[in-house]
Structure formats: structure tokens, C-alpha cells
Structure 1
Amino acid sequence: MMSFASAGRLLFSPKHVIIINSLVTRATLTVHCRNKGEDKGMISLAHRASFDFRFRVNLRKTTVYTCSFAWPGNTATFDIFRADRDDNPKSKVGVCSECIWVIYETAPCRYRRNGGEPNCFPWAS
């Protein structure tokens, strides 16, 4: 049985990104995620709705998925998955195989299924 700690060291480690709309204003959130080779399209999320996708980290561990987020009066961008941050045992937030992101107006926050304090990050733009 593989432990979660070793999951980040596997070649092409499988990832599951989950994005949850938790805007305090309860507005609809429009999400558009893509990487160099794949576009997930525009997704419209009602309050508390979620969108998810799965992929495997590339051999060089350079996989990045960037998402743009829009809600009334605002747009923001954030790297929802970065191999150097989310698939690196040495990063301050550690490895996630299930990367749960809760989106607030103030910040995108990565949660762990088993609880604990979330890791919130500044918007890139």
C-alpha cells in the first residue's frame, strides 16, 4: 500500500484538482483553467458548486495549470497547480494528490481532505 508521502515521488504522479466556489457574495464564479497542452474550457460555478479535473505530472515535474477566475466586478489569475509547489515534498505546503482549492474573493486556499489549517495564497493578478 502506497502512502501519501511517497505519492509525490512517483513518476507521472496522478493528481485530482477540485475547485470550489466559496465567494462570500454568493456570486457565480467563472473559471477557465489551462496548461501548455490542454484547455479545460470556461466553467460557470454557482455558489458552493465545484469543478474538478485529473491529470498526471509530467516527467520533468514542470506541470503548471493556470486558471482565470471572474465574478461580478473582479477578475483574478492563479496557478491552481504548480509541480514545484504541489508535488514537491520540500515545499512549505507539501504534496497533494487531491488538491482541494476553495475560492474566496480575498484568496484561493488549498485545503486538505483530513482537515487542518488551509494554505491561502495571494492572487497572481
Structure 2
Amino acid sequence: MLTAKSDLTIHCKSKDDDLGEHVLPYQQSFAWNFRPNFWQTTLFFCSFAWQGSGDSHSFDIYVQRRDQSRCVDCRWAITENGPCLYKWRSSDYDVCYPFKN
């Protein structure tokens, strides 16, 4: 889900899989499925750019050692300050991180 009222260009990939670039209209989502590996090294990273802003940000959206125990269906809201993870217990996006850049 987007919290800024403009389209968001998102490009996610791992070492092995490039999920392509997608333009998400306001309040739309992008999803994919994968299986974490045995060695606990699965990593997906994404870049985010709001159209018209000229800014681009990145974030490691799935880090297996960080995320495997806390979410099976990981849902993120991308805000201007960084991504926020949805917590099923609180029913809110209340675990927020800054962008890497």
C-alpha cells in the first residue's frame, strides 16, 4: 500500500531473481511468492521512486534472518520516510525502518 498520493515505481530483486520494474498507482500493491533457502540467506531488495520527485530510495525488503520468524505473509507500506511492516497482532504498520539511502 502507498501512503503518498502519487504513483510509485518499484523494482525488486534477489541475487537470482529480478522481479522487474512496476509502476503502482496510489494505494495499490505488488506481491510475489518465494521459498526461503535452507542456509537462511534469502534476500530481496527493492528500489522505490515516487514519480515526479526525482528521489530514489532502496531497502532490503526481505532478509531471512530478520524476517522469517516474524512474518510468513510480509506486508509493507512504503512511506516517504521508509517502509513499515504490518504486524498482525496490532493490525497496523507499526514496525518502520529508514531507507538505506
TM-score (norm 2): 0.91
Report SS of the residue matched to 1:51.
coil
Q: Give the deviation of 1:117 after TM superposition.
A: 5.8
Change (3 A) 1:117 1:49: closer
Deviates more, 1:114-123 or 1:31-40: 114-123
Q: Give the deviation of 1:107 after TM superposition.
A: 1.4
Q: Give the deviation of 1:116 after TM superposition.
A: 4.7
Identity among equivalent pairs (%):
37
Q: Looking at CA atoms only, which structure, 1 or 2, has the larger radius of gyration?
A: 1
TM-score (norm 1): 0.74
Query: For residues 63 and 119 of structure 1, what CA distance do their matches in structure 2 show?
Result: 20
Q: CA RMSD in A?
A: 1.3
Count of residue correspondences: 98
Q: How does 1:1-125 map to 2 (within 5 A)?
A: 20-23=1-4, 26-71=5-50, 72-88=53-69, 95-114=70-89, 115-116=91-92, 118-125=94-101
Query: For residues 97 and 37 of structure 2, what CA distance do their matches in structure 1 show?
Result: 24
Query: For residues 22 and 36 of structure 1, what CA distance do their matches in structure 2 show?
Result: 28
Change (3 A) 1:43 1:59: same
**Gaps (5+ residues) in structure 2?**
none
**Gaps (5+ residues) in structure 1?**
1-19, 89-94
Query: For residues 108 and 117 of structure 1, what CA distance do their matches in structure 2 show?
Result: 9
Report SS of the residue matched to 1:79.
strand
Which of the pair has the greater relative contact order for Cα pairs under 8 Å at 6+ separation? 1
